[in-house]
Amino acid sequence: MNIQITDTCITLGEGVESFLLFEKPALPNYQNVTARPYISIYLGDGATIWSRLQVCTELLADFCHEDPYYGCYALLFRRLCPLLLSSSQPKNVVSYGPPADCGVYRVFQDFMTFLQEGSALTALSQSSYAFTALKESSCHAFLYCLDVFPSLPAVCDAISKVRPGGLVLLYTIKEPLPAGLNELCVHAEKDCFAHCTVYVFTIDESLSALALANGSENAILSRAEEVLKRANDLQNLVHAMLTGTPLPGDAYFIAVTILQQTEEILLSLYDYLEDDELPVNANALKECILNYYGGIRRQCELTSYREKLTQSSELFFAAVEREFQ
C-alpha cells in the first residue's frame, strides 16, 4: 500500500486500485473556518492547509508504511480533516489502539496544532480502565481500533465520550465484524480500502441513547441484576436442601447449572469486582452442592456435607450482597 501525492490530489493505492483521500479545491469555500488558508490565491506567504496536508501524508508514509494499519490511518486522516477544519475551536481528539510510540500520533498532532494551537490528541493506554478517566461528551473525535478491544460496551462507552456532532471512527483490518457490533455499525458510514475498514459515526441524540443503553455501566448493572436474581433463586434452593424440604429429582442439577451461569457472569464482570474472590466462592458453593448430592446418591452420612454447604452458602450470599446491594 502506498500514498501518492500530486499537486491536486492525495490518493491511497494498492496495485491498480486507488482511493482518493484529499483533493485540492480549485476555489476557497466555506468548509474551512480555521485561521489558516486552505489554498494560496494571492497572499503567497506562509504554509497553506493543502501544503501541510501534503507534508503530513508524506510523513505518515515515512513513519507507518510497514504498519498493517497504515491504510486505516490514511482513511482516518481523511475523515478527521473536515472535522478539524469545521470550527476554530481547539479540538480534543482521543485515540485508543495504536501503541504510544506509533508515528501516526506525531502526524495527527502536528496537523492539529498547525490548524489550531491548543488542540490535543490523547493516546489512551490499552486498558479497560482507560475510558473511565474521560468525561462524557468531552471529545470532538474518538479514534478506536476495534481489533484491540472488539467489545460492544467499550465502543458504546467511546461513543458516550464524544460531543454531539463529533465523530467516532472505528477501524479494523479484520473481517468479519465481531458479534454484537453488527447492529451498531448499521448506523455508520463505511470506508473500505484493501484490508482496511473505517466505520464513521456522527454523534446525534439517537446514537447517544443507543450507546447509553449498551454501555458498560448498563451492561454491568444488568449483569449484576442477573447475579442477584440467580443468587435469590439459589438461596431458596439451598435453604430447601438444608431443611430437608422434598425437592424434585433434578433440583441439584438445576442448582449447579445456576451456579455455573453465575460463575460465568461473575467472570465476565471480573475487571470491575471489588471482591475478586467472588467467582471462586461461587465455585466453592457449587462444589458443596455436588458433594451433598454425591453424599445423598451414595447414601452417606450427610452431616459434614451439610455443614460445609451451610458455611459456603452463607459466605457466598453475604459476598454477593456486599458486592451488589
Partner 1 sequence: MSNYKMCMIPAYPLENVQLLKDRVIFPYVCYRTFGESLRLVTKCTEDYPYLSYLEGVDLIPLPEDQPHMEAAVRYMSEHAEEIDLLFLFGARGEYMKLARTYKSLRPDGIIYLKLDTNIDWANAYPLHDSQFSIFLKDCDIISCEARRLQSFLYKKWQRPVEYIPNGVYYPLYPEAGSVCFEEKENMILTVGRLGTAQKNTLLLLYAYALAFLQLKEPWDLVMVGSVTPEFQSEYEEFCRRFPPLAPHIRLTGNITDKRTLHQYYKKAKIFALPSRGEGGSPNVFSEAAIFGCTVIATNVDAAPDMTDNGRVGRISLDTEDFDSFAKELAALCLNPDYLARNFHEMRSYMKEFFDYEHLAVRLQMLVQLQSLKRSHS
Shortest spacing between CB 296 and partner 1, in angstroms: 10
| Residues that contact partner 1, how many (by CB under 8 A) | 26
Q: Is 287 in the site for partner 1 (CB under 8 A)?
A: yes
Cell of 207: 446514537
Told to check if 264 binds partner 1 by CB under 8 A, we report yes
Considering beta carbons, is residue 68 or 82 the nearer one to partner 1?
A: 68
Per CB under 8 A, 135 contacts partner 1: no
Residue 315 contacts partner 1 per CB under 8 A? no
Residue 76 C-alpha cell reads as 482516518
Largest CA distance in the chain: 99
Q: Would you count residue 320 as binding partner 1 (CB under 8 A)?
A: no
Q: How far is the CB of 87 from partner 1 (least distance, A)?
A: 44
Does position 267 bind partner 1 by CB under 8 A? yes
Q: Write the CA distances from 74 to 4, 46, 71, 185, 302, integer angstroms.
A: 11, 25, 5, 20, 69
Beta strand 9-14 pairing with 2-5: antiparallel
DSSP code of residue 4: E
Sheet order of strands, 17-23 included: 2-5, 9-14, 17-23
Contact residue for partner 1 among 256, 306, 310, 315 (CB under 8 A): 256
Q: Is 311 in the site for partner 1 (CB under 8 A)?
A: no
Q: Does 316 bind partner 1 (CB under 8 A)?
A: no
Distance CA(61)–CA(63), nearest Å, equals 6
| CB count in 10 Å sphere of residue 279 | 19
Q: Please give the residue ranges that form the binding site for partner 1 (CB under 8 A).
A: 252-253, 256-257, 260, 263-264, 267, 270, 276-277, 279-280, 283-284, 287, 290-291, 293-295, 297-298, 300, 304-305
